[in-house]
Structure 1
């Protein structure tokens, strides 16, 4: 190794001694004869550390923008073959050739692992290989600003640790991978990512997902940008609706007009009843549809029977304005009872002492108009 290479590696600031040692050996082991760096097994042996520890230091060098890495996998089996790495930019010092005093500068061209320790060299023309780039950090050099100070670096690492530990899956996530993704973001993006963690996790759980993505995926795909604006969320926040009221009725008919969600099959007992002539197939299927075909509606009815309200989406406000008070037991009430029977819909539960309930204005004849209104509502 030349004195220039030694000085360059050792003068890099902000790194732990072990990381500098890895960089020192990268410079020392680079072979322009082969156009490659040494294998990671060789580097780990030279640095007297494990492969996992070596990868951690390589990740730090990558985050600092000194090296770039890419993984290569077999196109068919998807098995990882090797990790290729190279300097990320032109480094103006001579790297000696093996066994020669004359050297040449390290360039930004692709540098491949040497054929050491039974690791074969892989050609770019091999059609069975695919490249999968390791996340390449956006460095301060690329942003056109000065490299971050030691204090800034510490503040950045502290902010990452706080954000990472607040992620639901942090115990099983890869912290180095998450940090590489974090380092690839701008300062403003990191701040937004932290601010939206709570909203993203809540939104993910609201969809019924059993698993939440890793913190690295959240950062890489900038998933917080896909969340609706807070003002929009506030405008569409569910409202508590009293049973048999306008908003409650709007929700009931939104669900009914959406159609059956579950189609039941006749049981063995019911089949025997049909064979005995006790009931027809059509009658039994109609009953099963009313009981099981609209579970969300039946849940609303069960809550209403116990005089409990329900959370109703705010976007139904326009539809709620189309509801009108109908006297329980009156002519319009009876018309709606018949319409529900025709459509195979469950009817309202016992209203108790309630004398008026809200139902769509215009009677059953206005259902098509109501459905057209629903299609035009932005949810």
Structure 2
């Protein structure tokens, strides 16, 4: 397919609160290449080149779209062990939820429900009314003739809008379900939550509690993100605990004061966040059949394959920060980490200290942020005094930074 004019994607995904970053662009790109059955075969490397981003960004978006239910993947493994383009299908229609048919029945009751006696009084369409009797029509009244003014009568559309307004009542089941769906779609664990449990927790709230939940959830999430916490609370737990009430009567100014700022990994704050992500536990990795076959055939390549895999996939959030920086874009850094990073020192690119930090990353199989041409300085934790071995000094500096991170998290939890 060359120069496609359209991209076919499902309309429901556009407003889905689980979308992040380049997800929608990746989906639109797939939608420009699908066949009649919705399938296309695309290379992640080529997609990254077209979108001007890293391959890991495309891969994360594809995984997230698959989790949401907008994309289906079918892997293709080549016989020679090289990466091969996979098949992707854009899913246009979502599977109906357990209570969807009940809501649809309520909408269609007027059209398909039992016929009332009053509706039987009118003659069926297409049958003429009976002829007029022999008696004369009654005389016209003394008043003026009625005015056929559309502004004085209610149109069917206006009556429908009135019914919709009535449906917004607090105790109306249809309105409650609509509000529940709208709120739940914004929650971070929406994709993995149990629908029945979450809905039950929602319905257990009082009307005032539901209203407060809708109004305060965004503040709660912003505060949690600014504190640098990794979110894992299920929506049902959040509702049952009424966690938004812990915010107290914070003003909008206080919330904005804790909002994260944007940096690159070349800055003190950006490097601090990058190291904070690298200090988190490594992601569980397993060899795919192709990698295992290569190692079985050539055992001497085992360390090389594992190192490459760990550097590229072991710390996905850190790799994403590096990709963002290399694309000359910025990312948000929590104020707590910005403060810790203020103590970092400038290190000249190519110097002995810079090389010592590079060796530390190599020993830990961490991804390394390359220095672009023309960049003279990078930021790293300050080295302790009176230690001649630079490798040992870097390890101690990193340990002190990790301690500062831990103390900051403990203070947040205590607050």
Which fold has the larger relative contact order, with Cα–Cα distance below 8 Å and residues 6 or more apart in sequence?
2
- Normalization by structure 1: what TM-score? 0.46
* Structure whose residues are more often helix by fraction: 2
Structure with greater strand percent: 1
What's the TM-score, normalizing by structure 2? 0.42
